[in-house]
Chain A
């Protein structure tokens, strides 16, 4: 009898182990990554140990004392990099892009700055594990379309609620009225496009005038509680931009639009501005550099914007802007393809940006642009333990990610793509019935 129950307990234990092995979850702990090459980004490459404790990089270098009870990972022959940051995506906002009911980045209305991307992030979206196992740990999720589609949020790709995922930075998204076409299905006439641009520019100026006025009234109301305040979420959100509390990220792509946007930003005396997209930045790189506006560009793997352009213009664009002195970060502007960020960076590197600048463009530079460079973007003691261990250069296609840590969590190298591989590589049943 005793034996029997002993077996039962043993069986249950084994079953529990098997079960927990099946459902690997992110977990916290004290982790020592030993014998590694450490690509710090900001202080060159080092050899030694990286210690993760309480979610932070606790120590780093050749003479790190490993605390008792730490879980040790031998990283001989492997390299540690800070997690890559995608400067603009829809990861978690868009599940299946052709099915509108699964797409949460595009609310009705032209001026909806109060829309919060963070609210609609699905922490269990299938693309989240798919993206992070490629070393992309952090991403700015951006609302789309209309003049002011909403507030973008920086998230880490781990967590069960949007707040757990939130990585401490928000920016107001704006689409600068564009004179370009949206794609092959855009059949508007030149005249219609021009009219629409003028209409949109007028609307843009009106809304920013209103926001400035609202901010003044709002400031006065804070001093005098007797002043009645209307519920005005649009203006409340935009007032943060007017006051410089929230950066304004302006999507702008054609050369003419970029020049117009630079002029508009100066006229409006906007302080914290980021340009996103910037597909033709190479045409006006000097102007962007002179304006001192940082840029989040991409995808790099894209077609030239004009039939007459050099075939490699999109590949060369980040490098040309970088060389002109523009602060350049990269993005995929995608949901399910955000895992291609390292490859976009690889192409930018090959076509003129160079590997070092390209690496910075997916780590420390976006962290600086979003104002979170004290927490992430490089490997430094005290920063968040958001990093990965790879077999080599993360841009190189065949490189594999061995271990992944996001915000101190050890994240399993697992995703639906990997699960399907494991199930179907050698399918249990053959072709017989």
Chain B
């Protein structure tokens, strides 16, 4: 107890220096570089200066003072991107209404979450941390970089990344609102109408403001519409300023949202989970919608009972921009392995499989010009493995974010918490996540308890 109290300031001091700068410089010497977009380069150096890739080639000479790491025999790939996660936030669901577009998980960032470090130890560098799926139109999400060591929540944000918002179809909004609260939606019909109404209201709201703005100079008595952040946000979706990421499972509901979005001119659309995306892959491709899927999770609820682990392969072969995500703090620790499953289930090539966790999720988040591949000019996010990352035996060795080493297996301190509660030097044993639970429903525990615990005992 006393010891841990003494350790606390030391621990804080230790990570302070680490957290000072957001970008760094590093030269990785003589690795096998899996660029993802420009092929595989043998015995190649990668130079990152001030957080950006500046040179990729042989015999690169680093500027004086640059940290040099020999990666002979190791594999260097772009930092892995998880397009669906709920880590590093204090709140997941504002499950109080079928439309809650006014809320934003970016207001609840938690830089101390140990899940950030655990994800880094799986080669992850960027994460789309999302609102939950209790509502047909949920809250806005945040694309973050795993700058573990930072204490300021602001330091997690990927500055300038496009805004995104969570939508949800099917069982979760039906259960939260229809079953849980006796209001629409209780069916997939209701889900469609909730979204159509929100879009229509937002269009009217936007028109009212446009009208007011046009006439206010000439008419000082023009009536200003009441500000409504909920509708303001939905209006931003209609204007193409926000990418929709929609929790979905069944083919019919996916197809429904394609039609709704088409009717309202919404083009930036990526489906999440989308277990039955394979059934409407040609429709998804024709629309240009993305699909962010699980590698092989299924049967945990009825709407994923008719799934196939070949989903990613079918979608890819049909021309849909596809990623593999985790939606789970455990699964995100081995997304490289999840991507490899697309080789078992559907025979994707190495580059196709790696694209599922790098350049493709980057496209879905609108940041493909910044991250997702090893190319000069892009941000210096890298994961280094001892073996090919698609091998089950591969162990992540080094994870670099913006040129700064954030995980190093050789210097892993075992206890990597940033914050130690002096009253509880050893945190309680907690068998979390032993079986799959729908993380998207986090924040609706009362309902969860009601549905599962009471029922069983």
> Which A positions have Cβ atoms within 8 angstroms of B?
95-100, 106, 108, 126-127, 145, 179-185, 187, 190, 253-256, 279-280, 299, 301-312, 333-337, 339-340, 342-343, 346-347, 349-351, 355, 395-400, 416-418, 420-421, 424-427, 430-431
Contacts and interface: CB of A to CB of B under 8 A. Distances in A.
Most buried by B among A179, A303, A342, A349: A303
B118 interface: yes
Given A97-B299, A145-B456, A181 B391 contact: no
26 contacts: A108-B456, A126-B299, A126-B305, A145-B457, A180-B430, A182-B431, A183-B430, A183-B437, A185-B449, A187-B449, A301-B330, A303-B330, A306-B426, A306-B427, A335-B299, A343-B337, A395-B393, A397-B340, A397-B343, A397-B390, A398-B390, A417-B298, A417-B307, A420-B307, A421-B345, A424-B308
B428 A181 contact: yes
B184 interface: no
Contact of B435 (A333, A397, A400): A333
A251 to B, nearest CB: 10
A99 B302 contact: yes
Given A254-B429, A421-B313, A307 B114 contact: yes
Contact of A303 (B317, B433, B437, B455): B433
Interface stretch (B128-136, B154-162, B202-210, B413-421): B413-421
Contacts of A417: 298, 307-310, 345
B300 interface: yes
A332 B442 CA distance: 24
Given A309-B415, A420-B307, A425-B313, 14 more contacts: A97-B301, A100-B455, A100-B456, A145-B457, A181-B429, A184-B445, A185-B445, A299-B434, A305-B430, A310-B412, A311-B412, A336-B299, A417-B310, A431-B283
B254 interface: no
Interface stretch (B15-23, B62-70, B274-282, B364-372): B274-282
A425 B310 contact: yes
Q: How large is the interface on B (under 10, 10 to 19, 20 to 34, 35 or more residues)?
A: 35 or more
B226 interface: no
B436 interface: yes
Q: Which 10 A-B pairs have the closest CB atoms?
A: A346-B392, A336-B299, A397-B340, A421-B310, A420-B308, A398-B343, A254-B429, A98-B301, A180-B429, A417-B308
Given A97-B299, A108-B457, A310-B414, A333 B434 contact: yes
A179 B307 CA distance: 37
Given A305-B429, A305-B430, A417-B345, A98 B300 contact: yes
A365 B142 CA distance: 47
Contacts of A145: 456-457
Contact of A183 (B281, B286, B302, B431): B431
Nearest to B447: A185
Contacts of A347: 334, 337, 392
Contact of A308 (B307, B308, B426): B426
Given A179-B429, A184-B442, A398-B343, A424 B297 contact: no
Nearest to A333: B434
Contacts of A304: 118
B431 A279 contact: yes
Given A100-B456, A303-B432, A305-B430, A185 B301 contact: no
A420 B278 contact: yes
A334 to B, nearest CB: 7
Most buried by A among B317, B333, B334, B412: B333
Interface in B9-48: none
A312 B314 contact: no
B329 A336 contact: no
Interface string B377-395: 0000000000000111111
Contacts of B417: 307-308
A181 B456 contact: no
A417 B310 CA distance: 7
B448 interface: yes
A106 B456 contact: yes
